[in-house]
Structure formats: structure tokens, C-alpha cells
Copies of this chain bind each other. A is one copy, B any other.
Amino acid sequence: MTAFPPAPVPDQPAFPPAPDFLARLDGTASDIEAVLENALSAQTEDGEIARPERLRAAMRHAALGGGKRLRPFLVVESAALFGVPRAQALLAGAALECVHCYSLAHDDLPAMDNDDLRRGRPTLHRAYDEATAILAGDSLLTLAFDLMAREAVHRDAAVRIGLVRDLARAAGLGGMAGGQMLDLAAEGRFGDAGTAPDEAGIVTLQRMKTGALLAFACRAGAILGQAGGPAHAALETFGEKLGLAFQLADDLLDLEGDAALIGKATGKDAAAGKGTLVARLGPQAARQRLAALVGEAEAALAPFGPGGDVLRHTVRFAAARRT
């Protein structure tokens, strides 16, 4: 990662610089990598050999060595607001990251988005084969709940079961998987031409497909911290706004970004005829909407005072990223 990216719009209000934000983000990404490396190592925690080897290797391909680990970072930083020990939040964040990585592996499949490139490397089914990619995705999703259920996440089983339940709802029919389904439908994949989503439909789609896991990441900190209702609600709102901002930035990147920097194909959404807010509003209005969402996300953090600064930087980072 390079310097802190520029603000998305010129008239954005001044904000204290954070020379250490990217170092902080990188540090958590390294820690998450280590947790995932350990969870996918050759030996299980019981000392048994984790096998079959081909499936384990494919899970590693999908889960290791990639990404900013934004979702785990949000878990760690929202949990830090309540003094949750970092190791606990990292394990919960790694569980969430397994869900994210499984979804990328399945979304890349030929029957889905048919992508060859992910984070600058071959997608899982290109590096292995379709059957292995399906099974590795399934296994990462399953591992997510294995990790989240571990005592090291929180000594109170009620906290862990709350995380399991919330994660399942964020990932399933009413969340991420449902959002991917709506996204395929918006392409006209199921022969329902003429039912392209309107603006509200696009927001619903994005709230489910991308927003649900990002919002869960923020709520997870409140659950881990056994936070009271107002703090929980504040992080919920923050996560929702951040999720929408993230997706809008993603759509802008797809339109304007550099494929070499991003490590995956760009312009695919337009080619697929996907209705994005950028296509609907135009880039200029989309950028204004993005700035407004960032402002709303920051406002939601007001109850945390300066303690919320890292999360404030995070939503700015998510909105302004170039990769």
C-alpha cells in the first residue's frame, strides 16, 4: 500500500491526518493472515493431520495472501472501542474473512461471474478445477462457523452463539447470498428482461451483497464487547453507511479504475449491463452521494468521541481507495 489516498471530493471537510492508519490496517492484515495460516495449517488444533491435502491447499489459495482484510479490521477496531482483547477480535474477524473468501471463490465460478483473475492471481477454479473450487468454498464457509464457535473468541458461549447467528443471517438468503442472486437477476440471467432494478432495488441489492457482511463486521465488535443498545445501534448505522459507501466506491472503480492496480478485470459491470448507482446517477452525482454517505457514517460515530477516529479513517479509506 502507498500513501493515504486523496479525499474523494474536493470540498470534503478537513480531517486530521493519520500517518499510521495504513500501518494499522497492514498490521491487522498481517495478524489475520497469521490466524488464517494457523487455521489452515497441516495440523489441526488436536494435532491431527488436516486433510485431504488438495482441498486444504485450495482453501489456502482462496483465503491466504490477499486483500486488505477490511472486514476483520472493522471487527478489531469496533471491538477495540469496548476494550475487547485483540486476539479474540482477530479470531472472530478471521471467521468472517472465511465467509468473504468463500463468496469470492464461488462468485468467480464459470456458472456465476466467470472470472479468471482475483487479486492478480488465477481464480480458484482456474488454479485448480471447478469441483475443487466449489468444495473449497463450501469448506471455508463451514470453517467460518467452526472458528466463530471456538472458546478463544469469547469465554461466554452466549456471545459466541450471538456471533454465529448474526453471521449466518448476514451471509445467507436475506444477506450476501441473496444479494448475489439479485445481482445475477439484474444481469437478466434468469430471462426476466425488463425487470432491471430501480434505484431502491440497486440499494437493496448492494445492502445485501456487500453491505451485510460489512455491517456485521461492525456489529461484531459490539457483540464481542457486550455493548449496550445505543453503542450497538451506532455501530449498526455506521456499518450500513460504510457498506453503501464501499459499494459505491467499488462501482466507481469498476468504471474508472486501473485493472492492473486492482488485480481483477474492470468494466465488467457495464459490460454485463448491471444496473449500478454510478450508471444511474452518473459519476459526478455518485461521488457526491459517496461523500454524503461518508459524512453519515462519521456522524454515527459521534457517541464514541475521539475513540471513533480509526473507524472514521476507515470509512474514508473505503470510500477513497484506488484498489
A128 to chain B, nearest CB (A): 8
- Which residues of chain B are near A160, meaning CB under 8 Å? 157, 161
| Residues in A176-211 with C-beta less than 8 Å from chain B | 177-178, 180-182, 184-185, 189-190
- Which residues of chain B are near A189, meaning CB under 8 Å? 129, 131
A55 to chain B, nearest CB (A): 4
Provide the bound-state CA to CA distance between A129 and B188, in Å: 13
- Identify whether the interface residues of A are mostly helix, strand, loop, or mixed: helix
Given known A-B contacts A129-B190, A164-B164, A134 and B112 have beta carbons under 8 A apart: yes
Provide the bound-state CA to CA distance between A139 and B212, in Å: 14
Provide the bound-state CA to CA distance between A232 and B85, in Å: 34
Of B55, B134, B158, which one neighbours A111 at CB under 8 angstroms?
Answer: B134
Given known A-B contacts A111-B134, A129-B190, A50 and B173 have beta carbons under 8 A apart: yes
Provide the bound-state CA to CA distance between A164 and B157, in Å: 11
Instruction: Using CB atoms, name the residue of chain B closest to A130.
Output: B111
Interface size class of A (residues with CB under 8 A): 35 or more
A142 at the interface (CB under 8 A from B): yes
Given known A-B contacts A54-B181, A181-B55, A141 and B143 have beta carbons under 8 A apart: no
A172 at the interface (CB under 8 A from B): yes
A135 at the interface (CB under 8 A from B): yes
- Which residues of chain B are near A138, meaning CB under 8 Å? 102, 106, 137-138, 141, 172, 177
A29 at the interface (CB under 8 A from B): no
Of B44, B54, B132, B177, which one neighbours A135 at CB under 8 angstroms?
Answer: B177
Chain B CB within 10 Å, residue with most, of A59, A150, A174, A189: A174
A16 at the interface (CB under 8 A from B): no
User: Are A178 and B146 closer than 8 Å at their CB atoms?
Assistant: no
- Which residues of chain B are near A109, meaning CB under 8 Å? 131, 134
Given known A-B contacts A131-B189, A161-B160, A181-B54, A142 and B139 have beta carbons under 8 A apart: no
- Which residues of chain B are near A111, meaning CB under 8 Å? 129-131, 134
28 contacts between A and B (CB under 8 A): A50-B174, A51-B174, A54-B185, A55-B177, A55-B178, A55-B181, A56-B173, A106-B135, A109-B134, A111-B130, A111-B131, A112-B134, A132-B184, A135-B177, A138-B138, A138-B141, A138-B177, A139-B178, A141-B142, A142-B168, A145-B164, A145-B168, A146-B165, A149-B165, A150-B165, A157-B157, A157-B158, A157-B160
- Given A132-B181, A132-B184, A135-B180, 14 further pairs, Cβ under 8 A: A48-B174, A52-B178, A52-B182, A52-B185, A54-B190, A102-B138, A138-B138, A138-B141, A139-B172, A146-B168, A149-B161, A149-B168, A156-B157, A161-B164
